[in-house]
């Protein structure tokens, strides 16, 4: 018997997600079903999917249930699983707020990358009303001292290897257009540098503490924003600029322009990184479970 399954659509700086609320983890979402839901022509469309589950009801999150009631079971658009999604966790928080599971202020969300602290700012009123920004504590960046190179077509660049829970290669380029159409994943060397694949960011300077980036995301293709990518870029830019908050004792803030908007990233002297930006829910509806059954078959 088919049933109706509720979904929402949301985005953070145009990194967009299908949101499937499923508190008791009752909906089977194998990779093919996720890819079908994220398909922009034959499905609902999204860079990824946020499966909203109570931590206590998910085997990967039970251990975090005492600290965070809700688990972000994040999937990439091709159905693959990723450790963390920075824009996703902000959109996830906005969903929890809209559904009445969270209020403005602080909350904790369980992710595969651990429990993340989120702050939902008060709504602002400027003639109409707009949702306040959402800040997430992204944890610390790891900077393995690996020499990496990324290539698109004939062009190659040295890249900084940054791990934000998920893997990134950050390349500073003369012109963002040099990354080409990014339909195919950029290649990287050495070949074994990223055994589980990599998100690749291309970065140009806009001014002091201000950069712009494009990204090719593992499992999603080119997207209009990537939160973990923006954090990786901010840290790579800071180190390139000779800035290390652990040494100076002063927080470092970078503004990162992405094709879909702007994110503000602050790295603190203890290494903790905070990311702030908008997160919105744009639609909600239902789809027929029979459609998903057809995809799974
Ligand atoms: N868009 C996300 C990152 C999603 C995961 C990434 N594609 C991966 O496979 O690591 C973000 O906002 O961080």
pLDDT confidence of residue 130: 58
Question: Where along the chain do the CATH 3.10.310.10 domains lie?
Answer: 4-133+279-296, 148-277
Distance (angstroms) between ligand 1 centre and the Cα of 50 equals 12
The residues pairing with 117 across neighbouring beta strands, listed in sequence order, are: 108
pLDDT of amino acid 141: 98
Phi then psi dihedrals of residue 189, to 5 deg: -140, 145
Rounded Cα distance between 276 and 278, Å, is 7
What pLDDT score was predicted for residue 1? 76
Superfamily classification of domain 4-133+279-296: Diaminopimelate Epimerase; Chain A, domain 1 (3.10.310.10)
CA of 167 to the centre of ligand 1 (A): 9
Res 127: pLDDT: 45
Task: Name the active-site residue from 72, 169, 226, 256.
Answer: 226
Which of these, 146, 133, 49, lies nearest to 88 by C-alpha position? 49
pLDDT for 124? 64
Would you tell me how many other CB atoms lie within 10 Å of the CB of residue 137?
17
Locate the ligand 1 atom nearest the alpha carbon of residue 47 and give its number.
1
Residue numbers in the known binding site for substrate are 15, 76, 86-87, 166, 199, 217-218, 227-228
Q: Residue 235: in which H helix or E strand, if any?
A: helix 227-240
170 C-alpha vs ligand 1 centroid, how far in Å? Answer: 14
CB proximity list for 226: less than 8 A, separation 6 or greater? 15, 86, 87, 199, 201, 215, 217, 258
pLDDT of residue 128: 38
199 lines ligand 1 (CB under 6 A): yes
Query: In b/e form, how buried is each residue of 76-106, taking b as 16+ CB within 10 angstroms?
Result: bbbbbebbbbbbbbbbbbbbbbbbebbeeee
Question: How confident is the prediction along the chain (297 residues), in pLDDT tens digits per residue?
Answer: 789 999 999 999 999 999 999 999 999 999 999 999 999 999 999 999 999 999 999 999 999 999 999 999 999 999 999 999 999 999 999 999 999 999 999 999 999 999 999 999 987 654 434 578 999 999 999 999 888 999 999 999 999 999 999 999 999 999 999 999 999 999 999 999 999 999 999 999 999 999 999 999 999 999 999 999 999 999 999 999 999 999 999 999 999 999 999 999 999 999 999 999 999 999 999 999 988 887 866
The pLDDT value given to residue 290: 87
The residues pairing with 110 across neighbouring beta strands, listed in sequence order, are 71, 115
Q: Decide yes or no: CATH 3.10.310.10 for domain 148-277.
A: yes
Partners of 217 in the beta sheet?
221
ipTM score assigned to the predicted complex: 0.98
pLDDT, position 123? 77
**Is it true that the peptide bond before 151 is cis, omega within 30 degrees of 0?**
no
Instruction: State the Cα–Cα distance between residues 19 and 186, nearest whole angstrom.
Output: 28
Atom of ligand 1 nearest to the CA of 87: 12
| Residue minimizing CA distance to atom 3 of ligand 1 | 85
Does ligand 1 lie within 6 Å of residue 113's CB atom? no
pLDDT for residue 242: 97
d(CA 159, ligand 1 centre) in Å: 18
Ligand 1 centre to CA of 27 (Å) is 23
Nearest-angstrom CA–CA distance, 250 and 96: 33
Cα–Cα distance, 109 to 179 (Å, whole number):
34
Are 9 and 15 in contact by the 8 Å Cβ rule? The answer is no
Mutate to test the pocket of ligand 1, among 10, 13, 46, 48 (most ligand atoms within 8 A of CB): 48
Annotation marks residue 38 as catalytic = no
Instruction: Choose which residue among 38, 88, 224, 273 to substitute to test ligand 1 binding: the one with the highest number of ligand atoms within 8 A of its C-beta.
Output: 88
Which ligand 1 atom is the nearest neighbour of the CA of 168?
Answer: 10
């Amino acid at each position: 018997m088919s049933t109706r399954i509720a979904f929402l659509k949301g985005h953070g700086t145009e990194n967009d997600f299908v949101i499937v609320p499923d508190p008791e983890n009752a909906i089977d979402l194998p990779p093919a079903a996720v890819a079908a839901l994220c398909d922009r022509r034959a499905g609902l469309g999204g860079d990824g999917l946020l499966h909203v589950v109570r931590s206590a009801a998910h085997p990967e999150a039970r251990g975090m249930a005492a600290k965070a009631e809700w688990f972000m079971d994040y999937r990439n658009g091709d159905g693959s699983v990723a450790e963390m999604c920075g824009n996703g966790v902000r959109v996830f928080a906005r969903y929890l707020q809209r559904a009445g599971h969270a209020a403005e202020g602080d909350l904790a969300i369980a992710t595969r990358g651990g429990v993340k602290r989120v702050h939902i700012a008060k709504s602002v009123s400027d003639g109409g009303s707009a949702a306040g920004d959402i800040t997430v504590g992204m944890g610390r960046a790891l900077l393995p001292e690996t020499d990496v190179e990324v290539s698109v077509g004939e062009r190659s660049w040295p890249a900084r290897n940054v791990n934000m829970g998920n893997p990134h290669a950050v390349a500073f380029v003369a012109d963002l257009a040099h990354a080409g159409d990014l339909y195919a994943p950029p290649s990287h060397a050495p070949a074994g540098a990223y055994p589980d694949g990599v998100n690749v960011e291309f970065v140009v300077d806009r001014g002091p503490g201000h950069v712009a980036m494009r990204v090719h995301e593992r499992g999603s293709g080119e997207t209009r924003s990537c939160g973990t990518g923006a954090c990786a870029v901010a840290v790579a830019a800071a180190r390139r600029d000779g800035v290390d908050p652990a040494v100076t004792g002063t927080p470092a803030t970078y503004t990162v322009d992405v094709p879909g908007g702007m994110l503000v990233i602050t790295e603190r002297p203890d290494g903790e990184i905070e990311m702030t930006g908008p997160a919105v829910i744009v639609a909600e509806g239902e789809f027929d479970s029979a459609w998903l059954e057809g995809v799974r078959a």
